[in-house]
Amino acid sequence: MEIPRDVYDVLADTRTVIAGDRVQIPFELGSALYKRVNNLLKEIGGRWDGRKAVRAHVFPFPVEEFMRACLATREFPSRYEQGWYPTPPRVVDEVLAHAGIRQGVSVLEPSAGTGSIVDPAVECGGIVDCVEIDERRIHILRERGTARQVIGADFLELDPLDCEDGYQRVVMNPPFSAAVRHVTHALGFLDDDGTLVAVMPRTVLLSGDPATVEFRELIALADGTFAPLPDESFAPSGTKVPAVLLVVDAERGGPLPTHGWLRRQPRQLDLFALA
């Protein structure tokens, strides 16, 4: 999203200090402009710390390089574009109640944000690997140090067969704009007797888009369920998008294209290599 001209001028002003985890603006702004600058810094992940010794927007990641890149392109990644809506604690409880994570169970969280699901899954005893695309949130996840592995990558680009084993549980709240793609891809990381629990937009129940219809059919074949979450479940994260909870159990020989299923497919012969 484009950085508005007047906000850009404030951030690029030579008096503005952008260093470490802080952005400090040591000059007066009119209240309307201050509000716009504050909104953008909050959107990027900053929080105003008004203590005398600080008086700056403080970020939970090193903001300097990130901000320089934004200023160079005059754009910033908005949370809306990235589908960045942390899972509220009540929804996390619901996810975990269905996932049944116990001591030593392997878990994948493939769109991990800052770890709203990761941390409680670890508290349940899960051995959690997670994936996140955004460098700020990757930094936060690594700092927290709760997951066994934090993979900084586009999950949709990862090949399930690069993992030796499937995961016993996949728990996820993917970006809603591409939820069906994310969940379908995540099935390839699921163990043959694993369980996948995903928060998805309620439109997945109604959409006539061919990929969504095919997805619903697949889930029905596997006896999966979509349970509506209460309206306003995501209000604490700033959105009213209605959501459902998908719970589906895999089984060997079942219809889901799990990690084991992918492993069992014959390798495609490169016939042209023989020519």
Q: How far is the CB of 183 from ligand SAM (least distance, A)?
A: 12
DSSP annotation of 2 reads B
* Cβ 226 to ligand SAM shortest distance, Å: 17
Sign of CA dihedral 158, 162, 164, 166: positive
Question: What are the E-state strand segments in 133-189?
Answer: 149-152, 167-172
Residues 24, 38, 82, 184: which binds ligand SAM (CB under 6 A)?
82
Residue 196: how many other CB atoms lie within 10 Å: 28
Contact with ligand SAM (CB under 6 A): which of 154, 159, 164, 270? 154
Q: Provide, rounded to whole angstroms, the least separation between the CB of residue 266 and ligand SAM.
A: 29
Residues in the interface with ligand SAM (CB under 6 A) total 22
Supply φ then ψ for residue 56, to 5 degrees. -155, 165
162, burial (CB in 10 Å: exposed 0-12, middle 13-18, buried 19+): exposed
Minimum distance between the CB of residue 269 and ligand SAM, rounded to whole angstroms? 31
Report the sign of the C-alpha dihedral through residues 40, 42, 47, 48, in that order.
positive
* Residue 88 contacts ligand SAM per CB under 6 A: no
168 lies in the site for ligand SAM, by CB under 6 A: no
Cβ proximity to ligand SAM: between 87 and 258 the closer is 87
Residue appearing with tokens 């001028």: 9
Q: 65 near 74, Cβ under 8 Å? A: no
Phi and psi angles of residue 24, each rounded to the nearest 5 degrees, phi first: -125, 130
* Binding track, positions 190-229, relative to ligand SAM; x by CB under 6 A: ----------------------------------------
Stretch in the footprint of ligand SAM (CB under 6 A) among 30-38, 55-63, 167-175, 206-214:
167-175
User: Which residue lies nearer to ligand SAM by CB, 175 or 260?
Assistant: 175
Chain centroid, CA 217 distance in Å: 25
Positions touching ligand SAM (CB under 6 A) are 82-87, 111-113, 116-117, 131-134, 137, 154-156, 173-175
